[in-house]
Structure 1
């Protein structure tokens, strides 16, 4: 019995706390990415992902684009063109569709029931600030070469082929998005088409790791507890690459891994994803009353607050 309890606690800890500095939710990841990784990049020469625009930080994780810094012109969505959004370089739709949870209820179901999906959604190596309009236009399209499409965003070189469901990022980040894609597919055991592999392998060779990409990797590795081996050169991708699956944690659902009393003894803070209220293990009478499917674990009150949660009013 003791052995089973220890195993359950270990599974819960591994699922929710892969590393002390790694965020456990997408909302928290955006805040951490701003504060710990991109904090000094708003006015840098490399700019945001797709157009190289500079921006001004606003709020916990947002930003306002400076269109003059990159010659950006709005295509259709002014509100999104004005703001920074956080792009999943490998879209959640793509990695979600390779998880059973998505087939059973889409993204919401994956967030509730699949610890691997939550890890992918919050993985800091896969997040990058971008112009919101281009992020929206890219949608869940794969990267590829786009031909016959006139400039869509002024001087911004990124192109989106809506009919062909393909997006071609600017040259400056083609190597970066290739190595990020390799990382995600390798770490989480995803399947990639031969055509996509060939394209990204070519971008990886043609656009080598920059000094900023090395720094980005170093900053992110300190939070995630591991580097992107495709940036450091410790790993390379070839056709038929066999994924390491290092990010595939136990499928043991996080909300069922440990009984409420065991969570309390470990000091885990429980958030309610429906109400955005969190409960402490001590002094909060509703701590063990949150429905398992709505539970979101946090390591600290600061992390819960960063994710947009507030403390329950009945906590002493």
Structure 2
């Protein structure tokens, strides 16, 4: 039985009334107020370097670089501020959306409600030193050679700009792996076999920490769901079948999206392989195995066919 309380004519329920953020701007504020509000002076600090910070404004912060022995690599001003890192970069999930190919991130924000959900997903956000956030860019995670230098002083994350690879500090390798699994599973994203194998190794070597569990609990109260790779409800293996729960478009996004959702030819994402000139629905195996660099996204079958693509023989319309 759910208990409620009446006070001065108002009805109160003993649970949070927070709702999932509808934009990246709103997500940053909720990340501060509902998830990291008390973590700036304790615990793990900024995700890649463990620094402490002072909150400034609605969602920003000023980093205490001495708290973690951080050495500025190049950008002093950016190094001193908190930025919100998309652990799975917006570039990575955006490039698997048609909206990005039609106008980049700006177009995705204005035209694609699923991209909006991904960009504002709190499970994928963490406070980072601005300089490190900028350096990491959209690089894949990787395990760098032992002789690779640490460019940020005592901060034990490092980067190889030539290879475009970023290696986070050991303390968060398991966390970033489980966030990657979550985002790819929930939004049906494709991931290279090499990246899967690395993240599976990190997941096994670095188990869920007490803070990661608490973080997941706090986020679930806002988002309405947990990261199942943190709770243990799901486990990633090669050949993992994505749940794709995040692809549902709610009617609140508008009549145009709802109409598309009910149209049989528009219910599924479509990815074309520019080499084979075949296209695949999001539930077909070829969707995941087509590398990003060889992919072209389409809104409908008609769009794919107009561009000279044919449906893959092993991919049937449901």
Q: Is the 8 A contact 1:143 1:167 kept in 2?
A: yes
The match for 2:144 is: 146
1:39 to 12, 15, 37: 37
Give the deviation of 1:162 after TM superposition.
Answer: 0.6
Q: Is the 8 A contact 2:177 2:199 kept in 1?
A: yes
Give the deviation of 1:200 after TM superposition.
Answer: 0.2
Give the deviation of 1:254 after TM superposition.
Answer: 2.9
The match for 1:14 is: none
After TM superposition, the runs of 4+ consecutive aligned structure 1 residues lying more than 6 A away are none
Cα distance in 2 for residues equivalent to 1:150 and 1:230: 32
- 1:65-80 paired onto structure 2 within 5 Å: 65-80=63-78
The match for 1:254 is: 253
Q: Is the 8 A contact 2:18 2:221 kept in 1?
A: no
Q: Is the 8 A contact 2:79 2:130 kept in 1?
A: yes
The match for 1:289 is: none
Q: Is the 8 A contact 2:158 2:167 kept in 1?
A: yes
Give the deviation of 1:258 after TM superposition.
Answer: 8.8
The match for 1:84 is: 82
Cα distance in 2 for residues equivalent to 1:99 and 1:56: 36
Give the deviation of 1:82 after TM superposition.
Answer: 0.3
* Paired residues, number: 241
Q: Which has the higher contact order (CA 8 A, sep 6+)?
A: 1
Q: Is the 8 A contact 2:139 2:166 kept in 1?
A: yes
SS of residue paired to 2:54: strand
**Structure 1 residue 158 corresponds to structure 2 residue 157:** yes
The match for 2:167 is: 168
Give the deviation of 1:256 after TM superposition.
Answer: 4.1
Q: Is the 8 A contact 2:187 2:246 kept in 1?
A: yes
**Structure 1 residue 115 corresponds to structure 2 residue 113:** yes
Q: Is the 8 A contact 1:115 1:253 kept in 2?
A: no
Q: Is the 8 A contact 1:114 1:253 kept in 2?
A: no
Cα distance in 2 for residues equivalent to 1:94 and 1:105: 15
Q: Where does structure 2 lack aligned partners over 5 or more consecutive residues?
A: 1-16, 259-318
TM-score by length of 1: 0.74
The match for 1:64 is: 62
Q: Is the 8 A contact 1:218 1:227 kept in 2?
A: yes
Deviations 1:27-81 (CA, angstroms, capped at 9, x unpaired)? 0000010001000000113111000001110000000111111000100001110
* RMSD of Structure 2 on Structure 1 (CA): 1.7
SS of residue paired to 2:138: coil
SS of residue paired to 1:247: helix
TM-score by length of 2: 0.73
